[in-house]
Structure 1
Amino acid sequence: MAIRREERSSMEFVLKSLLAGGVAGMCSKTTVAPLDRIKILLQAHNKHYKHLGVFTGLRHIVHKETFFALYKGNGAQMVRIFPYAATQFTAFEIYKKSLASVLGSNSHIGKFLAGSGAGVTAVTLTYPLDTIRARLAFQVTGEHVYTGILHTAVCIFREEGGIRALYRGFVPTLCGMVPYAGFSFYCFEMLKFLCMKYIPKLTCEPCSRNTGGLVLIIPAKLLCGGFAGAVAQSVSYPLDVTRRRMQLAMMNPETRKFGMGMVKTIVLIYRENGIFKGLYRGMSINYLRAIPMVAVSFSTYELMKQTLELDTGMTL
């Protein structure tokens, strides 16, 4: 009976974590969807937008394609992001508990490894949807190649090499995910811990359901999440550019050279455009989107944990 109750409790925890993570991911991605689209257009040098900046590019999208074009590809993004974020946050909680039993609850490397493992798990399961979403977002009104999520998937699968084509750019994504997810979760967890330990009067409020007795107020959640996102993006951004160039390589004859492998793509980007105009192209917009995106993601997840009574507090 006790074992059955424990199994039921574990299943409830996983299901609630999946829901909390999925909702957090959808809220965060919808918040920055317009910035996500212009980032993809700039990263991959779309011929209509490569000469524009972030804000002029956004205005050009509205003028050329209507306001709703700012959210082009967001439907595919929502299909991808719910299982992605649900898996990532749930995996992090599971990995964190497992590693804590081996390395200790306050282990820095344990928190980093839990975040990295969660990111790798989530991206492995949902990567084809990211490729599809990138293809849809890269299209410009009047020059459509794909009509929807299913059509995009079928075309890529049939014309570009099956499952392998849907996973084009996966290696740089994995390489980038380790530092990105690792630093995101590690920085947020550490900043949360420091706020609750050293400045609770400024950053926390009492919570009777939380075993630590405290939870971060929303502005503190947003600040911790935003800083975590900035650190993580700074480290992993060149691999994000590489992934996008590989995902979109087959859409134009002149860009097919970028689909030949991670190392060759990185070298080619560097030779043609250098570091700042190539490997870090679109970094300014990435800060504009990554900081609020990660802030909203972590904040929404923490709020969902409180609502679903998953927050267990922390020992100070």
Structure 2
Amino acid sequence: MSSSSASAKGDYYWLRSFVAGGVAGCCAKSTIAPLDRVKILLQGQSPHYRHLGVFSTLTAVPKKEGILGLYKGNGAMMVRIFPYGAIQFMAFDKYKKMLSTRIGISTHIHRLLAGSMAGMTAVICTYPLDVIRARLAFQVTGDHRYTGIANVFQSIYRSEGVLGFYRGLTPTLIGMAPYAGLSFFTFGTLKSLGLKHFPDQLGRPSSDNPDVLVLKSHVNLLCGGVAGAFAQTVSYPLDVARRRMQLGAVLPDSDKCVSPMKTLKYVYEKFGIKKGLYRGLSLNYIRCVPSQAMAFTTYEFMKQVLHLN
């Protein structure tokens, strides 16, 4: 009886963890959907906006496509981001416990490895939806190629086959390893150091378990923002390569973007570092800071709401 009860409790724990991660991911992405659309347009060198910068594109899109133009592709993003966030946060907790208890890896290293593994796990499980979302977001009103999520799915399958849904997967995984690893590592390290050295100033008892100390909300936001900014700096060129490979036949120079290294080399030689490999980075700093801040803060909040502490 006790064994069955424990098993049920464990099942419910992972279900609650799944929901907490999904809600965190949706909240994070919803706050930066317009910035994501602009980033994709800049990374793909859209002919409609390639002559503009980050902020001028942000103001030009509503004028050309209406305010909802800033949210183009966001429906596909929400369909993807719930399972993505759910899998990533749930897998991180699972990998972290596995690495620390079974393998005995040190605290800092197991955060880095668990974050990398969790990020890659989430990417593999949800990648086709990311490709579909990128194709939708790259469209400009008056120059439509697809009519919706189902149409993108059918078009990619017919013209590119199953492998079309995984274009750019390799640079995504390569880029996700340092990004997710450094993001979870930085947040976890800042959190543990803050609670260890400044518990009264930065922490408070968890609402679902007074014996557990958690960071105050504004401190969570700060730590999450710092973690996102640091991780993004390291992995951004691979994000550019990933987007160009995902867009595939939509781009006139898609034949140059058939592998991660060839894409990086082509972008560097044709557009350079600032206008190629790091094009849109300033926007990414603006978007990744609130995104990661919201993701970690929401997840920490949902852990208390769903009694995960």
**How does the TM-score come out when normalised to structure 2?**
0.97
Structure 2: distance between partners of 1:260 and 1:230: 29
- Residue 262 of structure 2: SS of its match in structure 1? helix
Q: Aligned ranges for residues 60-139 of structure 1 at < 5 Å? A: 60-104=60-104, 107-139=107-139
Number of residue pairs matched by the alignment: 309
| Structure 1 residue identity aligned to 2:50 | K
Q: How far off is 1:90 after superposition? A: 0.4
What residue identity is the alignment partner of 1:260? V
**C-alpha displacement of 1:104:** 4.0
Equivalent in the alignment of 2:16:
16
Give the CA deviation at 1:210.
2.9
What CA deviation, in whole Å up to 9, does each residue of 1:243-293 have, x standing for no partner?
0011113113x2222332111111111111122211111110000000100
Conservation of the 8 A alpha-carbon contact between 2:135 and 2:247: yes
Aligned-residue offset at 1:100: 1.1
Matches within 5 A, 1:133-148: 133-148=133-148
Whole-angstrom CA distance in 1 between matches of 2:114 and 2:41: 32
Tell me which of 265, 275, 278 is aligned to 1:277: 275
SS at match of 2:253: helix
- Kindly state the Cα deviation for residue 55 of structure 1 after the two structures are TM-superposed: 1.5
Partners of 1:93 and 1:256 lie apart in 2 by 38
Q: Which residue of 1 aligns with 2:284?
A: 286
- The answer to whether the 8 Å contact 2:257/2:266 transfers is no
What corresponds to 2:293 in structure 1? 295
Cα deviation, 1:216-254, whole Å, max 9, x if unaligned, reads 1110000010000011101111100000011113113x2
Question: What secondary structure is seen at the aligned counterpart in 2 of 1:91?
Answer: helix
Contact 2:73 2:134 in 1 (8 A): yes
* CA deviation vs aligned residue, 1:13-55 (integer Å, no higher than 9, x gap): 1100110000000000010000000000001100111111122
Secondary structure in structure 1 of the residue aligned to 2:208 = coil
Deviates more, 1:20-29 or 1:271-280: 271-280
Unaligned runs of 5+ in 1: 312-316
1:310 matched residue in structure 2? 308
1:134-283 alignment, distance < 5 Å:
134-160=134-160, 162-207=161-206, 209-210=208-209, 212-252=211-251, 254-283=252-281
- Could you report, residue by residue, the CA deviation over 1:69-123 in whole angstroms, capped at 9, with x for unpaired residues? 1111000000000001000000001111111103448521111111111001100
Cα drift, residue 208 of structure 1: 5.5
Structure 2 unmatched ranges of 5 or more: none
The structural deviation recorded for 1:212 is 4.2
Q: CA deviation at 1:155?
A: 0.2
State whether residues 96 and 114 of structure 1, in contact with CA within 8 Å, keep that contact through their aligned partners in structure 2.
Answer: yes
CA pair 198-145 structure 1, distance change in 2 beyond 3 A:
same
Alpha-carbon distance in 2 for matches of 1:264, 1:58: 30
Q: How many percent identity over aligned positions?
A: 54
2:267, 2:277 within 8 Å by CA — same for their partners in 1?
yes
